[in-house]
């Protein structure tokens, strides 16, 4: 891997998408809504043999972490959350009816918020509603995000009983000063004990999330936190860059900007994690992710089946995904369609028997090609031009002639290797894969509006 210098950071550290989707949510607009979703559900119903992905958003938390970038509802009033659960179950039933006989689910993910904000019995009831109308495919990935601070052994027992086989839980950093600065106090013993219990109950895979770039972090304290994570030895680890964007997330103003690490230090934090997990036997997977060699993500990297969607990296890719709950995004029949982002509007729509879609984006033929390119680079670090030609009936080398030439500086810096019919992201370039993908993004050329970027920085 080529040396990473401060000059290199200055050239490549710029705002850019994480490419959870392409086009990104920044391009969504209100010209796409409920009618578009209804049309696409009907089209999806005509393919009953194809499996689905299902995402369920449970947005409630009792407290807000200062770094949080998710769409959450902060309340200690449990009756508010119970009312939401009723609407969510209704939305699931109504959408399933529109899907006709297409009911097989390959990937099911509950995200938040804090899904374990709800009681074990409430979670059981929600899953029962889902399984009344959908059927889990054999070997389906059934995952849930949990918060160790509010998740009990009873939660884990019920989740295991109702079919969940993978847990994802936030750690961020075990350093007390960092935890206090971001309002996320979570001790090591609570986290370790919960993972031990999950394994005893038979959960197949545990993923933990870390964040670098938080206030008061140093490479030395972060190295100690990583040693604690390695002692737990989760099957998967995600190491995310903190995006400080208080003009978009006002609650982030509670974080003192002077406490944030400089870009050079922030990169050192990531390299501390990168080296720590690599040295401990983990494999780098896609962007910012690591997995043990015998985890299915590691195997998928080898055989080319790794995929990425709104639910994260997966090996259980489905051609269409439906999404339920506040702000949830469906990826269906060539369109991204997002539910209402305000709780009252979401509940009003579902309560009236309407689809709650608020905005979205219908992909063009060019979008579909670029979506495939960016996903391939984010998942496998290479692009096969012959395969691209066959998939889309194009001369890909001519189609991307401008982008191909623009990659020359990245090749000079050792980020990519341009072959006759292949593009590979190599060495240090894998740490900057977002910068590589940005060359294929047709929307970034339009520039950032005003003086406030829409995306986090790439370092």
Position 298 scores a pLDDT of: 81
Regions in the chain scoring below 50 on pLDDT? none
Q: Could you check whether the bond before residue 23 is cis, i.e. omega within 30 degrees of 0?
A: yes
Locate 366 and state its tokens: 């060019």
- Asked whether 97 and 38 are in contact (CB, 8 A), the reply is no
CATH 3.80.30.20 region(s) of the chain? 24-321
Instruction: Check residue 445 and give its pLDDT.
Output: 67
The sign of the torsion formed by the CA atoms of 436, 437, 441, 443 equals negative
Q: In b/e form, how buried is each residue of 45-59, taking b as 16+ CB within 10 angstroms?
A: eebeeebbbbbbbbb
Predicted pLDDT at 2? 57
Alpha-carbon distance 258 to 245, whole Å?
Answer: 14
pLDDT for the residue 452: 63
* Half-sphere exposure for 290 (CA within 13 Å, toward CB): 25
Look at residue 77 in the predicted model and tell me its pLDDT.
Answer: 87
Given the candidates 3.80.30.20, 3.40.50.20, 3.40.50.300, 3.40.120.10, the CATH classification of the domain at 24-321 is 3.80.30.20
- Domain covering 365-459: architecture: Orthogonal Bundle (1.10)
Overall pTM > 0.85: yes
The ranges of the chain annotated as CATH 1.10.10.920 are: 365-459
């Amino acid at each position: 891997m080529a040396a990473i210098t401060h000059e290199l950071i200055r050239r490549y550290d710029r705002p850019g998408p994480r490419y959870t989707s392409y086009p990104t949510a920044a391009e969504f607009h209100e010209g796409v809504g409920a009618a578009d979703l209804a049309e696409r559900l009907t089209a999806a119903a005509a393919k009953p043999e194809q499996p689905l992905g299902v995402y369920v958003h449970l947005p409630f938390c009792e407290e807000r972490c200062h770094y949080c970038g998710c769409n959450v509802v902060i309340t200690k009033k449990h009756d508010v959350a119970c009312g939401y659960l009723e609407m969510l179950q209704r939305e699931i039933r109504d959408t399933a009816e529109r899907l006709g006989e297409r009911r097989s689910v390959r990937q099911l993910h509950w995200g938040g918020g804090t899904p374990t904000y709800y009681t074990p019995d409430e979670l059981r009831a929600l899953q029962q509603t889902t399984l009344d109308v959908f059927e889990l495919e054999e070997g389906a990935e059934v995952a849930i995000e949990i918060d160790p601070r509010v998740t009990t052994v009873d939660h884990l027992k019920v989740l295991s009983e109702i079919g969940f086989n993978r847990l994802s839980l936030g750690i961020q950093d075990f350093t007390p000063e960092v935890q206090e600065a971001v309002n996320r106090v979570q001790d090591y013993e609570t986290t370790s004990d919960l993972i031990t219990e999950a394994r005893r109950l038979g959960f197949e895979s545990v993923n933990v999330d870390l964040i670098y770039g938080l206030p008061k972090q140093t490479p030395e304290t972060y190295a100690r936190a990583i040693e604690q994570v390695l002692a737990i030895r989760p099957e998967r680890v995600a190491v995310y860059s903190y995006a400080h964007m208080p003009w978009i997330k006002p609650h982030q103003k509670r974080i003192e900007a002077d406490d944030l690490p400089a870009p050079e230090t922030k990169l050192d934090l990531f390299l501390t994690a990168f080296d720590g997990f690599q040295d401990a036997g983990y494999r780098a997977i896609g962007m910012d992710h690591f997995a043990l060699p015998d985890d299915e993500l590691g195997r998928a990297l080898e055989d080319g089946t790794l995929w990425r969607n709104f639910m994260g990296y997966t090996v259980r890719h489905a051609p269409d995904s439906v999404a339920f709950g506040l702000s949830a995004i469906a990826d269906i029949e060539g369109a991204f369609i997002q539910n209402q982002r305000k709780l009252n509007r979401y509940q009003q729509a579902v309560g009236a028997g309407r689809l709650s879609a608020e905005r979205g984006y219908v992909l063009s033929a060019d979008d579909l090609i670029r979506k495939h390119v960016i996903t391939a680079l984010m998942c496998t670090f290479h692009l096969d031009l012959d395969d691209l030609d066959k998939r889309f009936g194009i001369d890909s080398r001519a189609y991307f002639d401008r982008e191909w030439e623009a990659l020359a500086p990245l090749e000079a810096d050792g980020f990519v290797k341009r072959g006759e019919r292949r593009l590979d992201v190599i060495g240090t370039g894998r740490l900057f894969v977002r910068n590589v993908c940005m060359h294929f993004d047709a929307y970034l050329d339009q520039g950032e509006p005003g003086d406030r970027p829409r995306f986090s920085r790439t370092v």
